[in-house]
Amino acid sequence: MSDAIEAARPLIAAQALCKTYITASGASLLAVDRVGLSIGDGELVTIVGPSGCGKSTLLRMIAGLDEYSEGVLKLDGTPITGPSRDVGVVFQSANLLPWMSVRDNVALPLRVGGKHTAETGRVDRLLEMTGLGEFGGRYPYELSGGMQQRAGICRALARDPRILLMDEPFGALDALTRERMNLELQRIWQQSGKTIVLITHSISEAIFLGDRVIVMSARPGRVLRDIAVPIPRPRSLDTIIAHPAYGEIAREIRGLLNAEGTVD
């Protein structure tokens, strides 16, 4: 009995989670409204929603980088009160340190964790995997926006975190690189068993990557629908659109976002 309860315990759980910002003029702004979420160990969950609906706010709260105003938010059964070593974050913009080389930026979390020398090979493998193999010695200003974003992804993966939170990680990439990164992320996830939460504005990316797609309302962000994606893995970009569930789910998401006044 207790085993069953343990197995059922979500890795990330939110109940009636709210976030109110106080703006510069002193007004209250409700960004996230009574969000309930339950994400199991090893799941890959994607989140879509209109711009400004509170997606990044939700992710920052899970990352322990933003306080929540009301409700419950737990990581592995413990209330989140700050950043955790188990969690890696890929931000909406890469935020690389301009005075450090790409390789040093990627290795920074390892250096902070005291593992620098032992894991240099890992950093080079990550750079290679994301097509940055030749750019380790360059500085961020020498890279395109998409390349900087890929370095940000390497940095989040460097410490091999159990949970990866990704805020529109592929938004700045060209279409072909984005497809390659989608496949690469699916592979990393399948091989590593990581739990991944990924925000995207692309309905096709949300369905391709997600075990579930969570659709949020316009601000204040609520969960409108939590849609399971019953398409077998590994998925391929060519065949997924032929799967009958793909079109149905895409139509459902588009309908929900249209009703909110936006299709991203």
Site of interaction with ligand ATP (CB under 6 A): 21, 23, 29, 31, 49, 51-57, 92, 219
Q: Which does 169 bind (CB under 5 to 8 A by kind): ligand ATP, Mg ion, none?
A: none
Contact 14, 39 (CB under 8 A): no
Residue 6: HSE in the Cβ half-sphere, 13 Å Cα cutoff: 3
Nearer CB in complex with Mg ion: 56/101: 56
At closest approach, how far in Å is the CB of 55 from ligand ATP? 4
The angle at the Cα of 197, spanning 192 to 198, to the nearest 5 degrees, equals 110
Dist. CA 73–CA 13, nearest whole Å:
6
Judged by beta carbon, residue 161 or residue 221, the one nearer ligand ATP is 221
**Which of ligand ATP, Mg ion, none does residue 31 bind (CB under 5 to 8 Å by kind)?**
ligand ATP
Q: Pick what 29 binds: Mg ion, ligand ATP, none; C-beta below 5 to 8 Å, kind-dependent.
A: ligand ATP
Nearer to ligand ATP, 35 or 132 (CB): 35
Strand partners, 14: 37, 73
Q: Does 56 bind Mg ion (CB under 5 A)?
A: yes
> Which one of ligand ATP, Mg ion, none interacts with residue 21, CB within 5 to 8 A by kind?
ligand ATP
Does residue 93 sit in helix, strand or coil? coil
Instruction: State which residue, 53 or 123, has the beta carbon closest to Mg ion.
Output: 53
Percent composition of the chain: helix, strand, coil (DSSP 3-state, to 5): 40, 25, 35
Give the pair of three-digit tokens for residue 223. 């969960």
| Site residues for Mg ion per CB under 5 A | 56
